[in-house]
Amino acid sequence: MLVQVLPLGNGDARAVYRLTLRAYDKSPDGRCQLSQNKADADGKDAAAHAYIKVHQDQTVKALIAGLAELGIKRGPNWVTESRLAARGCGSKVT
């Protein structure tokens, strides 16, 4: 779906469609980040992994609550996978 037409400096114009509109809202450095993985978007994965490694004997709900007290929001799947990795056991089915 055509959203708008942007004039370019050399007299040409570029059509912007809904799928690419998000790329034009960002700076050139931010455009290349659209295709990168958004893992660890908040930058708190290392702290969360360290907390889970120390408290790996707790239940998943207790770990989520403990992380929430530290201001780290993680879901049960992420916490379960991290706890299994900290214990060095378990496997992820793909």
Same domain, yes or no: 9 and 30: yes
Q: How many domains does the chain have?
A: 2
Residue 92 lies in a domain: no
The domain in which residue 67 lies consists of 45-87
Residue 80 lies in a domain: yes
Q: Rounded to an integer, what distance in angstroms lies between the CA atom of residue 77 and that of residue 5?
A: 43
* Predicted TM-score (pTM) above 0.75: no
Residue 49 lies in a domain: yes
Spatial neighbors of 71 by CB under 8 A, at least 6 apart, are 44
Percent of the residues in the chain that have a pLDDT greater than 70, as a whole number = 61
Residue by residue, pLDDT tens for the chain (94 residues) are: 555 666 777 777 766 655 544 555 555 555 555 545 567 878 899 999 999 999 999 999 999 999 999 999 999 999 999 999 898 876 656 5
Q: Which two tokens stand for residue 28?
A: 């050139």
